[in-house]
Structure formats: C-alpha cells, structure tokens
Amino acid sequence: MRGRVEPRPAAGDGLVGDVRRRIASGDAQDVGDALRTSGRLLGSETVDALGRRARAELFGAGPLQRLVETDGVTDVLVNGPQDVWIDRGDGVERVAVGFPGPEAVRALAVRLAAAGGQRLDDASPMVDACLPDGTRLHAVLPPVCGEGAVISLRVLRRRASSLEGLVAGGSVPAGWAPLVRGLVSRRANVLVSGGTGSGKTTLLAALLSLVGPDQRVVVVEEARELVPDHPHVVPLTARRANVEGAGEVDLAALVRTALRMRPDRIVLGECRGGEVREVLMAMNTGHDGGFATVHANTAAHVPARLEALGALAGMSREAVAAQTVGAVHVVLHVQRRGSRRWVSQVGQVVRAGPAGLAVEVVGRWDGTAPPEAGPGWAALAERWEQR
C-alpha cells in the first residue's frame, strides 16, 4: 500500500513571513542567513525544517512542494483551498493538504506564473508556463473559473528511460525489442501515438537513448519534457506572446529553425497543430530518423488526427495523405490502463483509396499474453528489424 502524503504543519507562518521580509529588504542574502539573524532561538532540526518550508514558500510551490517532490507523483491538482489531488499512476487521489483560503491559492498561482516568466491577473486569467525546475504549470483565475483559482502542475521526472528498462517493466514485449532497435538504427521515421498520460514521452525518450552518440538530436517541444540519455541533445522550446502580443515563437517556426541547425535527428515532442506540415515536409526532404508524438485513441485513429491537424495548416486531405505516406514509416501506439502503460500496437502507414490515409496494424499486444503478428509483420520486420 502506498504511503500517505501527510499535511504540512502550520507552525512557523510568522517566521516564514519574517524571512520573506528580510530577503526582500536586503537584510539577508538567503533563507539560511535570514533564519540565523532572525533573533529566535532555534534548534538545528527546526532550522532545517523551517528552511525547507521557507524555500518552498518563497521559491517553490508552497504547500504543494512536498507533493511535487514525492516520488511517483506526476500531477498535482488544486481545485480549491481544501480540494487538492495528486496522480501517482493509478488515477487521481485526494490528499490532506490545503490552503488558508481562496486568496492563498490565487497568490500561489500568480507567483508560480511569474516564476515561469508569465503574467497571471484579471486581464490575463489563464497561463501555461514552465517553471525553473521543469514542472509544467497551468493556472486559471476567475472569472474563467468562477469558484476561484485552479492550479495544475505536471511534474517532470528527470530520469532517462531505456529500452531495456521498458522491456523489464513490461512496457515493451521482448520479442519486439529487435524491431524497436532497428527502427532507430536504420533511421525509420517513427510516429508515437497514444492518449494523455499513456507514456508517449517515456517511450520516445527510450528511443532517443538508442541514437548513436555521434549524432546531433534537435528536440522541439511546447514545454520541455524529453530528457533522453544522449550526449548531444539541443532542446528548443516554444514561447508564448507577451502581454503586448509580441515575441511569440511557435512550434512550426522552431521546426524550421531546427532544419538549419545541422540536425541528424529532428524530434517533435508533441504534434498538436499546424506544425504537422513542417514535420512532414522535413521527413520528406532527406531528414530520416525523425520522431514525433500525436494524441490518438488507437493507431487506426492516427490518420483522422493528422488530417485534422493538417487542416489547421491549410493542407487538404489529399496533401496530408501524400506527405504522410512518404514521411512516416512506422506508428507505435501506447496504451494505459491504471498504472500500466505498454506498447499495444505496431502499424505502418498506407494509402486508403486515391486520397485517403490509413494505418495498417501489423502487431498487437495486450500487455500480458505473447504479442500477435498480423499479415504485414514479416515484411515490416524484414525491412526494419535489427539482426
């Protein structure tokens, strides 16, 4: 049974406020200095505990910091002062952590937004930002959410995945490992599909760890999540427009920039808009060995998703089909059930009629029984499998 996340003691509020004032006024250089010069008689354990709390209140996520640092937590969700939830892989669970009132939730949301270089106030009541430690922040204020400020934190775990680890953990069948290795070494263009939280980023990080160390990998993301075990990764992150509406750098522009950076591999962390045009064009102009992820419920739903994204870039259905057939070699679909995440389908992109697109599933796995090979598996393995 998992350990319970205990609420943080309420003691020390006045001292934390004093530390904040001392640092702001310049009377102290850091939290430790402020505690030492506070004039209070404090034991070493108390100083350490209050120091951690003060740092969380001043520079971290306040009462949520312990949740963010709890091993296994991927999401921290605040719906109200006494309505805090976490996700540790088995779905959301309520925790006994709270705030004094709605204003405290709002104050934390505003401070976290500022730490991520964004503005959050009545004139700009929604924010999507990346915090200095890599945590993804999304926050909403009234009147968008009438009940009060709402905070969502997606925690970035900087632990690189490996194919061996995924096989040992039951996320990839051992019989598919030679194919997965071959897709990377033979420079197939791979699309990883799946639902939210299904493990697309984890699988993609494992694939990138198989790329040779002599290759330059340029990763384009809306917010940095990919941390592969590779010595030569160049991360490019999108930037939103400022309050004057200037300074935006979108994913499409970053993909075009990546093409000029002498990449051996171009990776799009998540394809969710018109940047699909640039990615498909890059894969069709000699940049083999590329990767991208896309949201889809099954591998068979990938074509409809690509057509919808292509429409945002002004591409016709016929243009999306023509570009995708030439660009994407293999689709790896990941699935989640509870805390389990696994590669459930392997597919290849084919034409469906003169103007359509389809993904032919050639391999299936339910995560337990031996994987099933479809009619096209032998040809796919012959072309890509590492021997």
Share of the chain above pLDDT 90, in %: 63
74-85: pLDDT as tens digits? 899 999 999 999
* More confident position, 115 or 309: 309
Q: Which of 10-24, 111-125, 321-335 is predicted with the least confidence, judged by mean pLDDT?
A: 10-24
Per-residue pLDDT band for 324 (boundaries 50, 70, 90) equals: very high
CB atoms within 10 A of CB 244: 6
From the list 251, 323, 243, 332, the residue with the least C-alpha distance to 293 is 332
Give pLDDT, residue 178.
96
Q: Three-state SS string across 198-229, please?
A: CCHHHHHHHHHCCCCCCCCEEEEECCCCCCCC
Task: Judge residue 107's burial from the number of C-beta atoms within 10 Å of its C-beta, 0-12 exposed, 13-18 middle, 19 or more buried.
Answer: middle
The whole-number average pLDDT for the span 122-130 is 89
pLDDT at res. 43: 53
Q: Does residue 156 surpass a pLDDT of 70?
A: yes
CATH superfamily membership of 163-384: P-loop containing nucleotide triphosphate hydrolases (3.40.50.300)
How sure is the predictor about 37, in pLDDT bands with cuts at 50, 70 and 90? low
SS3 at position 283:
helix
Average pLDDT over the chain reads: 86
Residue range 131-144: mean pLDDT, rounded: 90
Which one is predicted more confidently, 212 or 247?
212
Band (97; pLDDT cuts 50, 70, 90): very high
The DSSP 8-state label assigned to residue 188 in this structure reads -
pLDDT of 219 over the 70 cut: yes
pLDDT of residue 246: 81
pLDDT, mean of residues 163-192: 96
Question: Domain limits of the chain?
Answer: 1-59, 61-157, 163-384
pLDDT tens digit string along 359-371?
Answer: 999 999 999 999 9
Report the range of poorest mean pLDDT among 130-144, 255-269, 322-336.
130-144
Give the per-residue pLDDT at 9: 41
Higher pLDDT, 36 or 266: 266
Q: What is the mean pLDDT of residues 330-355?
A: 92
Question: Residue 81: what residue type?
Answer: P
Instruction: Name the residue with tokens 């805390």.
Output: 339
What is the reported pLDDT for 1?
44
Residue range 61-157, CATH number? 3.30.450.370
Asked if the model's pLDDT at residue 66 lies above 80, the reply is: yes
CA separation for the pair 97, 103 (Å, rounded): 16
Q: What is the pLDDT of residue 12?
A: 47
Lowest-confidence segment of 61-65, 193-197, 260-264, 268-272 by average pLDDT: 61-65
Q: What is the pLDDT of residue 30?
A: 53
- Three-class DSSP category at 343: strand
- C-alpha triplet 288, 194, 275: angle, nearest 5°: 50
Q: Which helix (H) or strand (E) holds 367?
A: none
Residue 7's pLDDT band, with cuts at 50, 70 and 90, is very low
Mean pLDDT on 98-103 = 93
